[in-house]
Amino acid sequence: MTTFKNLGLCDEIITAVDYLGFENPMPVQEQVIPFVMNDTCDLIALAQTGTGKTAAFGLPLLNLINNEKKHIQVLILSPTRELCIQISNDLKNYSQYMYGTKIVPVYGGENIVSQIKQLSEQPQILVATPGRLIDLINRKKVKLDNVKFLVLDEADEMLNMGFQEDLETILQSVPDERRTLLFSATMPKEIEHIAQKYMNDSKSISIGVRNSGSDNVEHIYYTVQASNRYLALKRIVDINPDIYGIVFCRTRQETKEVAEKLVRDGYNADALHGDLSQPQRDSVMNKFRIRNLQILVATDVAARGLDVNDLTHIINYNLPDDVEIYTHRSGRTGRANKKGISVSIIHTREHNRIREIERMVKKTFTKENVPSGLDICKRQLFYLIERMEHVQINDEQIDQFLPHLFKKLEYLPKEDIIRRFVSLEFNRFLDYYKNAVDLNVPDKPARNEKQKSQKESRYDNRDNRERASKRGQRIRMKINFGAKQNASPRAILGLINDVTNDKSININNIEISNKFTFFDVFADQSEQLINAFYRNNRSPFSLDIAKEGKRQRQYHSSENNFYENARIRAKSNKSQKRNSDKRRRNKMSRKRF
């Protein structure tokens, strides 16, 4: 088994690592440390948050710097103040036995004068957020002429936060011959652009699958009505009494509202969002880090850079718009080889989003039922008993009260004492969930059962039987909306939905040419579609049945009569529309005279 000693690190670093309790390198450290120390190429390292990336680049860079030279040799960029401080503290711990090594963090939200004082003697390692670094460069307080190593940590986060221009400015300010080490949890196109433009002869190291989630995270989801989302959140928290997690909301306002509701309902929670001042933000984060808070409600932007170990749950109160954001959220739990759970609360129309995220992160999501009131009461009761079984007893303090307690309770049987004890601690849950409703949305019937049910109902009368006989037939349609008008399959479907106000119309085999778009529709829906476009005077587009030829599919002879009738009806509708327009023009002409 590989150890840190086998990686070629100096004795001072090995001593610090042993003191910190590190035994064996994590996978990303095992691959990155030898590469940084022994190779000369740039590096693109793809690894999830919480996999030990700071030590992966920090330990070899500490080993390579020259402590006798008092100028910046290593520049580390991080997206947030919190991550900047964390990296700096970790590097100081790793270098605690290395005499003469100076590490300085500079970041926004702090008095720049005090940071300038720290830079009066240039450090060997500077850890910075992009905005503050550019400010210091413009003030001529930082010189990057001797930078040998540039580290971009959480590069995708920096781009998500709008630092692309700042990054490019900094990359142009460091020497061309420096080595660049880029670390990212995901690999968006912007990262690839930076790698191609500013990195030379780079090597890629990937821990896990590209843009995938951690293997230690279990992904589950609950389906509820949108109006029951908060009630579902409470039940998820109650069924996990030892939860220590983050609830992600989409907006600041929603974050405030959810946090206020949780606090009002007796939960140990607080909010983290962009409206907080820096002292307020620091206070909330410090309370959460030391577990004075059990639940943190946050937006994605506010939680960036928040690095907390041992999170048990990540709860997506809303699914994020971007799959990469989901990867970042879920990556905050399941760290350091520990198990974590990523929970999503979705409504009935978001199942497709779950399937999309599954494909992107290459993980399977498990659908679970929202816990019932009885399930929660059982779990809370057993949790209470477990706490009682494992509580530490201070014999010296407790023994002096026991004789009085025994005498006080001697008239009660053991069963009554237990019953009263449980009731004292447990009545709140029993009362609240006494008449709890089922929040689960019933699953749709299986496809075969649904088809069978539809088939039976369809044959209830003669008209339905006739309609059923036409259902399998398709008609090729044409609309004067093509590539010249920036037509796309999504735009075509959106246009049809807007005009017909009916999402049950089945569109298939869309083919876009320069001026027209062709598609197939069920025969019994074609007339509805044509009539909808005929009645909609606001639509600039006209729709008709495609002429026979290379665009028109061949149908069986049993379909010919229906197809011909549909074509005649469409022609009649167009003729009626022309006559109606002609009468309208004549009427307007008579009014003028």
Identical fold, 5-206 and 472-583: no
* Tokens, residue 381: 């009761």
Q: Which fold has domain 217-371?
A: Rossmann fold (3.40.50)
Cα–Cα distance for residue pair 481/489, rounded to 1 Å:
11
Cα–Cα distance for residue pair 339/333, rounded to 1 Å:
7
Q: What's the confidence (pLDDT) of residue 464?
A: 46
The residue assigned the tokens 């907080």 is: 276
The residue assigned the tokens 């129309």 is: 349
Beta bridge partners of 295: 245, 269
Residue 297 in contact with residue 259, Cβ under 8 Å? yes
Cα–Cα distance for residue pair 256/102, rounded to 1 Å:
41
Cα–Cα distance for residue pair 297/303, rounded to 1 Å:
9
For 350, residues 6+ apart whose C-beta sits below 8 A from its C-beta are 319
| E-strand stretches of 67-193 | 74-77, 103-106, 125-128, 149-152, 179-184
Q: What's the confidence (pLDDT) of residue 587?
A: 62
Residue 98 in contact with residue 77, Cβ under 8 Å? no
Q: What's the confidence (pLDDT) of residue 460?
A: 46
Cα–Cα distance for residue pair 496/222, rounded to 1 Å:
32
pTM: 0.58
**Residue 28, number of CB atoms within 10 A of its CB:** 23
Helix (H, G, I), strand (E, B) or coil at 379: helix
* Tokens, residue 581: 């327009």
Q: How far is CA 308 from CA 78, 83, 164, 201, in A?
A: 16, 11, 26, 35
Cα Rg for the chain, rounded, in angstroms?
Answer: 33
Smallest CA-to-CA distance from 52 within 81, 35, 32, 38 is with: 32
Q: What is the DSSP string of 19-81?
A: HHT--S--HHHHHHHHHHHH--S-EEEE--TTSSHHHHHHHHHHHHS-TT--S--EEEE-SSH
Residue 475 in contact with residue 521, Cβ under 8 Å? yes
Q: What's the confidence (pLDDT) of residue 560?
A: 44
For 196, residues 6+ apart whose C-beta sits below 8 A from its C-beta are none
Q: What's the confidence (pLDDT) of residue 247?
A: 95
Smallest CA-to-CA distance from 353 within 396, 318, 390 is with: 318
Backbone angles phi, psi at 277, to 5 degrees: -75, 165
Q: What's the confidence (pLDDT) of residue 569?
A: 55
Round to the nearest angstrom and report the end-to-end CA distance of the chain.
Answer: 100
| Domain range annotation of the chain | 5-206, 217-371, 374-432, 472-583
Q: What's the confidence (pLDDT) of residue 285?
A: 87
Q: What's the confidence (pLDDT) of residue 228?
A: 92
For 468, residues 6+ apart whose C-beta sits below 8 A from its C-beta are 455, 458, 459
Can you give the pLDDT of all 593 residues of the chain as single tens digits? 678 888 889 999 999 999 888 878 888 888 999 999 998 899 988 876 667 888 999 999 999 999 888 899 999 999 888 889 889 999 999 999 998 899 999 998 788 999 999 998 899 999 999 999 999 999 999 989 999 999 998 887 787 677 888 888 898 889 988 999 998 877 777 777 778 888 878 888 877 555 455 678 899 999 999 889 999 999 999 999 999 999 999 888 899 999 999 999 989 999 988 788 878 888 888 899 888 999 999 988 777 667 777 899 999 999 987 777 888 888 888 876 778 999 999 988 888 889 888 888 888 899 999 999 888 888 888 888 888 888 888 777 888 888 888 888 888 888 888 888 878 777 777 888 888 888 988 755 544 444 544 544 444 444 444 444 444 577 888 888 888 888 888 888 888 877 877 767 778 788 888 888 988 887 777 777 887 777 766 667 888 888 755 444 433 333 444 444 555 555 555 566 566 666 666 666 555 54
Helix (H, G, I), strand (E, B) or coil at 179: strand
The CATH code for residues 472-583 is 3.30.70.330
Question: Helix H segments across 315-461?
Answer: 323-330, 351-361, 373-390, 395-398, 402-408, 414-432, 447-458
Burial of 334 (0-12, 13-18, 19+ CB in 10 A): buried
Q: Which fold has domain 5-206?
A: Rossmann fold (3.40.50)
